[in-house]
Chains A and B, each alone.
Chain A
Amino acid sequence: MARLKLFLPLIIFAALALLFWRGLSLNPQDMPSALLNKPVPQFSLPQLAESGKEKTMQRGDLPAKSLLLNVWATWCIACRVEHPFLNKLAEEGVPIVGINLKDDGAEAQKWLEKFHNPYLFSIADKEGRLALDLGVFGAPETFLVDAEGVIRCKHVGVVDDRIWQTKLQPLYQKLQQQPWDEFAGELSDSLLARCR
Chain B
Amino acid sequence: MRQTSCRALIAAALCACLSLAALAAVEVEQLSTPELQARYEVLIEEMRCPKCQNQNLAGSDSPVAGDLRREIRRLLEEGFTDREISDYMVARYGDFVLYRPPLQRNTLALWLAPGVFAAIGLVVLIVIVARSRSGSGARQDDASGELSEDERRRLRQLLGEDENGGKRQDD
Q: Which residues on A are within 8 Å of B, measured CB to CB?
A: 28-29, 31-35, 102, 128, 131-138
Question: Distance (Å) between the CB of B167 and the closest chain A CB?
Answer: 45
Contact A31 B94 (CB under 8 A): yes
Q: Which residues 83-102 of B sit at the A interface, judged by CB distance below 8 A?
A: 90-94, 96
In the complex, A138 Cα to B67 Cα: how many Å? 11
Contact A132 B51 (CB under 8 A): no
For residue B68, CB closer than 8 A to chain A, the reply is yes
Q: Which of B62-89 contact A (CB under 8 A)?
A: 63-64, 67-68, 71
B53 touches A135 (CB 8 A): no
Would you call the interface of chain B mostly helix, strand, loop, or mixed? Answer: helix
Q: How many residues of B are in contact with the other chain, CB < 8 A?
A: 14
Min CB gap A60→B, angstroms: 21
Other-chain residue from A29, A32, A133, A138 in contact with B92 (beta carbon distance below 8 A): A133
Q: How far is the CB of B43 from chain A (nearest CB, A)?
A: 16
**B50 in the interface, Cβ–Cβ < 8 Å?**
yes
Partner of B67, one of A28, A32, A33, A132: A132
Task: With a 10 A CB-CB cut-off, give which of A35, A134, A137 has the most chain B CB atoms.
Answer: A137
Q: A residues within 8 A CB of B53? A: 28-29
Residues of A near B64 (CB, < 8 A) are: 136-138
Q: Closest chain A residue to B65 by CB distance?
A: A137
Chain B residues with a Cβ under 8 A of chain A: 50-51, 53, 63-64, 67-68, 71, 90-94, 96
Other-chain contact of A34, B63, B71, B92 (Cβ < 8 Å): B92
State the total of A-B contacts with C-beta under 8 angstroms: 35
Contact check, A32 vs B94: say whether CB atoms are below 8 A apart.
yes
**Residues of chain B with a CB closer than 8 A to A128's CB:** 67
The contact of B68 among A29, A33, A132, by CB within 8 Å, is: A132
Report yes or no: A137 in contact with B50, Cβ–Cβ below 8 A.
yes
A-B contact pairs, 18 of them (CB 8 A): A28-B53, A29-B53, A32-B96, A34-B90, A34-B93, A34-B94, A102-B63, A131-B67, A132-B67, A132-B68, A132-B92, A135-B92, A135-B93, A135-B94, A137-B50, A137-B51, A137-B93, A138-B51
Most buried by B among A32, A102, A133, A135: A135
Kindly provide the distance from the CB of A153 to the nearest chain B CB, expressed in whole angstroms: 16
Nearest CB to that of B51 among chain A residues? Answer: A137
Residues of B within 8 A of A29 (CB): 53
Ranked nearest first, the 5 interchain pairs of A and B with the lowest CB-CB distance are A137-B50, A34-B94, A135-B92, A137-B64, A137-B51
Report yes or no: A134 in contact with B94, Cβ–Cβ below 8 A.
Answer: no
In the complex, which residue of chain B has the Cβ closest to the Cβ of A196? B94
Distance (whole angstroms) from the CB of A73 to the closest CB of chain B: 10
Nearest residue in A to B68 (C-beta to C-beta)? A132
- Additional 9 contacts, C-beta under 8 A, given A132-B71, A135-B94: A31-B50, A31-B93, A34-B90, A34-B94, A35-B92, A131-B67, A132-B68, A134-B92, A137-B51
Q: How far is the CB of B116 from chain A (nearest CB, A)?
A: 15
Q: Which among A33, A102, A136 is the interface contact of B94 at CB below 8 angstroms?
A: A33
Task: For residue B29, give the distance in angstroms from its CB to the closest CB of chain A.
Answer: 15
Which B residues are in CB contact (< 8 Å) with A33?
94
User: Nearest CB to that of B63 among chain A residues?
Assistant: A102
B5 to chain A: closest CB distance in Å?
45
Measured in the bound complex, the distance between the Cα atoms of B67 and A32 in whole Å is 20
- Chain B residues contacting A134 (CB-CB under 8 Å) are 92
- The chain B residue sitting closest to A102, CB to CB, is B63
Q: Which residues of B contact A31 (CB under 8 A)?
A: 50, 93-94, 96
